């Protein structure tokens, strides 16, 4: 019998839920925490308690059950395959996850905790407690807590301090945020996993405290590494130096428990004694430093030490990706390597003849300086005689992965670039965003480099432009950066969209990059009729659309004074394999649900005769490449003359004084702008008919009453609209053959997806001026089917065929 079947029957009993505990996330920290929580609860309950575990890797859950059962024969421990099952099986659920995207998935996606809570009776929901110990973005935590609390359940954020060693010993400190009543409910469970339980205030307060604590820890660990290295080079025994530090004013956890130098703590076993295995991963510390600097950006607090430490961790991960999963104290190794280079250089200088060509510079990060114009021209000529070098900034969570696969094919086709560097805020090992099955293969190709970085830091952006040793400067820069979560605060959109794009554009201009291509997503409301060409005035959609539009203004200003070779590619509604953003993809998932039910698919906004033009991601990638080649050949001045369009001011006038880099509303801004869409030019009703008929059903609209309610207050009808297809999608996932162990795809339509999106961008100009030919000219059964079958092949889309 499958564990999921057992759970689904077991949840029918309220008594079963009351006596059961669920733990989701069995990583290094989570597995130790779950062990302590379960073992101590088991003893406390005289062996009657029941336990449930859930992890993205089901084999990890089974391994935990096997180990725990060996230690406690007769213990009732089951495996849940989804967060919803874990919640339905228990009144108390603890989650310990890598980062914000994982928390969103576990709590608010279809098979998540919130959907399960909504399926319970009001009484059962009110008796449920959720404890999240993830260190994540404060705003995300507060949004998730609100979603849980809206169901009647209680929730606290309870991030931890103490590391893997503290988790194993049960001595963690929990920093708790949430309603005081929820804190009192959570405290007994936290005491089974930790020693110090500190109530910090309302939801998110615990996270703020944890992020501040980890900011200190991240900086301390680097300084301890520097001090230990300095002492060693001056002849001090590491054990003696560590003893002095740990008994003096320099004493801290980074030295006394996590000292980065082997042999420095003879009575302990820090990660450095195990080749830095088994501690707190460098990629996770980089994430935490990013959370701190993001908070600082949004509140205007300067963090010079924090930014410096964040850059060091980013350099460690980018220079040697294998170090991403090792304990963050491994950062000390970067300094050790540098010292080795220094000593090797000194040795060579003592033994070489003065007539020999000077030695190359040391490989230590520093403020980049550009070569003189003549040297740069020579390098550029050399690079352009071969295949160009390219950087892709951002877009792992949208469609930059498709461009990477075009530039460096994994099927044996000719690559378009000599060297490719991809830079984004996400980790790829372990993955903290959906990557699809092709992109990991791209990263394995020669001369392809991934760099995890915080692009809100100017020095970090600048360092990303430095080519690897032996490579020419970058010729093409593709900018996909920007916030795509529509409900984030305006400060986040300003920082993650406007400011990052400005920094990337400024550096591209400073380095005279031959082509800089900026994507502009379909975050606009177009006119329902008209030419739909680049000259047509369109309205940015909400705060998110406004700040995406503003990136064009700041970059264009710099283009006028710094010769930025900018091209803008503005897309219609995207779709295609391995992408999961905007409205079309969930629309396809909804159609799959109604095809499965053999019922008509229904939508809002009857009669749906307005344009909802689409574009395949293969054509977004192809258009961006074609525009880069076009710009590199003719330069900005000629490009403006041929394809320049005025970019109108669309923001509030007072923002110009508040946000550095904005263009005054009266200043005329012109840049090359190209639309990209396919030739289908579908309306909403035509789009719905294509998708629905592919899944063997028909397309219709919700009733007049529902449409009118949605028109005045969409939030009031969103749950009613989602009720049927969300539960159906869950059923399709759980009955899929082969199974779907984990998916990023969802049939849940949030407020943004359900809004009326009038999108129409004629692609005539890019065809005529650049000569671009569409690869996927029509949105039809073939292109939809190809997308679905590829997702089925990677087991991220349900297969319910007989």
Please give the full DSSP string across 508-576, using - where no structure is assigned.
HHHTT-SEEEEEE-S-EE--SSS--STTS--EE-HHHHHHHHHHHHHHHHHHHHH---EEEEEE-EEE-
Structure token digits, residue 93: 């659920």
The 8-class DSSP code of residue 602 comes to E
- Retrieve residue 204's tokens: 């998110």
What are the respective helix, strand and coil percentages of the chain, to the nearest 5? Answer: 50, 15, 35
Residue 616's nearest CA partner among 394, 409, 403 is 403
Q: Half-sphere exposure of residue 499, counting CA atoms within 13 Å on the CB side?
A: 18
Is the omega angle on the peptide bond into residue 639 within 30 degrees of 0, that is, cis?
Answer: no
- Catalytic residue (choose from 18, 66, 210, 775): 210
Contact, 195 vs 207, CB < 8 A?
no
Burial class (CB in 10 A: 0-12, 13-18, 19+), 717: buried
Say which residues have a Cβ less than 8 Å from residue 413's Cβ, sequence separation at least 6.
Answer: none
210 is catalytic: yes
Beta strands in 141-292 (DSSP E): 154-157, 160-161, 172-177, 194-201
**Distance in angstroms between the alpha carbons of the first and the last residue of the chain:** 22
Q: How far apart are CA 556 and CA 370, in angstroms?
A: 23
Give the residue from 60, 66, 64, 76 showing the smallest Cα distance to 21: 76
Torsion from C-alpha of 505, 508, 512, 518, nearest 10 degrees: -60
Before 667, cis peptide (omega within 30)? no
Joined together, the tokens standing for residue 155 give: 């929730």
Q: Do the Cβ atoms of 671 and 647 come closer than 8 Å? A: yes
CA gap 143, 155 in Å, rounded: 12
Give the bridge partners for 392, in sequence order.
Answer: 422, 478
CB-CB contact of 157 with 130 (8 Å)? no
Could you tell me if 502 and 554 are in contact, meaning their C-beta atoms sit under 8 angstroms apart? yes
User: Residue 191, exposed/middle/buried by CB under 10 A (0-12, 13-18, 19+)?
Assistant: middle
Tokens of 437: 């099955």
**CA 51, 57, 58: angle at the middle one, nearest 5?**
50
Would you state the structure tokens that stand for residue 327, as one six-digit string? Answer: 């304990």
Instruction: State the DSSP code for 767.
Output: I
On whether the CB atoms of residues 754 and 718 are closer than 8 A, the answer is yes
Tokens of 160: 């931890």
For 211, the 3-state DSSP assignment is helix
For 166, the token pair is: 């503290």
Active site residues: 210
């Amino acid at each position: 019998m499958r564990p999921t079947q057992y759970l689904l029957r077991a949840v029918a009993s309220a008594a079963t839920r009351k006596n059961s505990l669920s733990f989701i996330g069995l990583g290094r920290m989570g597995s130790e925490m779950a062990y302590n929580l379960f073992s101590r609860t088991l003893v406390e309950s005289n062996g009657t308690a029941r336990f449930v575990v859930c992890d993205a890797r089901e084999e990890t859950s089974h391994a935990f059950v096997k180990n725990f059962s060996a230690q406690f024969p007769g213990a009732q421990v089951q495996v849940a395959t989804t967060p919803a099952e874990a919640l339905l099986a228990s009144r108390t659920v603890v989650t310990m996850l890598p980062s914000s995207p994982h928390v969103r998935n576990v709590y608010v996606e279809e098979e998540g905790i919130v959907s399960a809570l909504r399926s319970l009776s009001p009484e059962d929901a009110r008796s449920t407690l959720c404890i999240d110990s993830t260190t994540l973005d404060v705003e995300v935590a507060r949004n998730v807590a609100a979603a849980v609390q809206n169901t009647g359940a209680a929730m606290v954020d309870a991030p931890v301090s103490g590391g893997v060693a503290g988790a194993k010993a049960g001595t963690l400190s929990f920093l708790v945020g949430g309603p005081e009543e929820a804190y009192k409910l959570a405290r007994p469970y936290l005491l089974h996993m930790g020693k110090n339980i500190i109530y910090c205030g309302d939801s998110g307060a615990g996270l703020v405290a944890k992020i501040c604590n980890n900011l200190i820890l991240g900086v301390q660990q680097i300084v301890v590494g520097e001090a230990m290295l300095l002492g060693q080079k001056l002849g001090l025994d590491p054990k003696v130096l560590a003893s002095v530090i740990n008994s003096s004013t320099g004493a801290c956890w980074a030295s006394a428990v996590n000292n980065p130098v082997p042999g420095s703590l003879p009575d302990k076993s820090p990660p450095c004694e195990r080749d830095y295995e088994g501690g707190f991963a460098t990629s996770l510390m980089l994430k935490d430093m990013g959370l701190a600097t993001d908070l600082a950006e949004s509140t205007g607090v300067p963090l010079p030490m924090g930014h410096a430490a964040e850059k060091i961790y980013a350099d460690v991960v980018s220079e040697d990706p294998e170090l991403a999963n090792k304990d963050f104290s491994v950062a000390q190794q970067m300094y050790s390597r540098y010292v080795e280079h220094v000593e090797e250089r000194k040795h060579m200088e003592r033994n070489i003849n003065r007539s020999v060509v000077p030695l190359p510079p040391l490989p230590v990060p520093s403020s980049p300086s550009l070569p003189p114009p003549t040297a740069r021209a020579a390098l550029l000529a050399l690079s352009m005689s071969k295949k160009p070098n390219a950087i892709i900034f951002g877009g792992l969570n949208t469609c930059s992965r498709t461009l990477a696969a075009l530039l460096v094919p994994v099927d044996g086709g000719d690559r378009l670039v000599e060297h490719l560097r991809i830079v984004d805020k996400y980790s790829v090992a372990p993955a903290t965003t959906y990557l699809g099955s092709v992109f990991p293969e791209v990263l394995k190709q020669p001369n392809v480099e991934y760099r995890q970085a915080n692009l809100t830091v100017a020095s970090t952006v600048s360092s990303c432009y430095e080519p690897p040793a032996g490579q020419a400067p970058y010729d093409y820069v593709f900018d996909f950066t920007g916030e795509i979560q529509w409900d984030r605060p305006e400060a986040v959109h300003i920082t993650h969209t406007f400011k990052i794009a400005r920094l990337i554009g400024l550096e591209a201009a400073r380095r005279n990059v031959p082509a800089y291509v900026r994507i502009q997503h379909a975050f606009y409301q177009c006119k329902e009729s008209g030419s739909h060409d680049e000259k047509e005035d369109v309205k940015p959609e909400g705060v998110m659309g406004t700040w995406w539009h503003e990136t064009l203004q700041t970059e264009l200003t710099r283009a006028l004074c710094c010769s930025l070779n900018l091209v803008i590619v503005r897309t219609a509604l995207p779709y295609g394999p391995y992408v999961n953003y905007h409205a079309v993809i969930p629309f396809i998932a909804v159609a799959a649900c109604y095809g499965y039910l053999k019922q008509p698919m229904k939508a809002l906004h009857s009669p749906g005769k307005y344009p909802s033009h689409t574009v395949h991601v293969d054509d977004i990638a192809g258009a961006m490449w074609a525009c880069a080649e076009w710009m590199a050949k003719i330069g900005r001045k000629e490009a403006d003359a041929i394809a320049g369009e005025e970019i109108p001011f669309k923001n509030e006038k007072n923002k110009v004084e508040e946000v550095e880099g904005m263009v005054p509303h009266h200043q005329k801004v012109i840049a090359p702008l190209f639309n990209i869409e396919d030739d289908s030019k579908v309306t909403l009703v035509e789009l719905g008919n294509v998708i629905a008929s592919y899944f063997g059903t028909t397309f219709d609209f919700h009733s007049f009453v529902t449409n009118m309610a949605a028109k005045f207050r969409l939030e009031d009808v969103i749950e009613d609209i989602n009720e049927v297809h969300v539960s159906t999608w869950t059923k399709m996932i759980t009955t899929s053959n082969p199974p779907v162990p984990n998916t990023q795809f969802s049939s849940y339509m949030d407020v943004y997806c359900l809004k009326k999106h009038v999108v129409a961008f004629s692609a005539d100009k890019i065809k005529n001026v650049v000569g671009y030919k569409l690869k996927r000219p029509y949105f039809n059964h073939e292109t939809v089917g190809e997308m679905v079958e590829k997702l089925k092949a990677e087991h991220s889309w349900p297969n319910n065929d007989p």
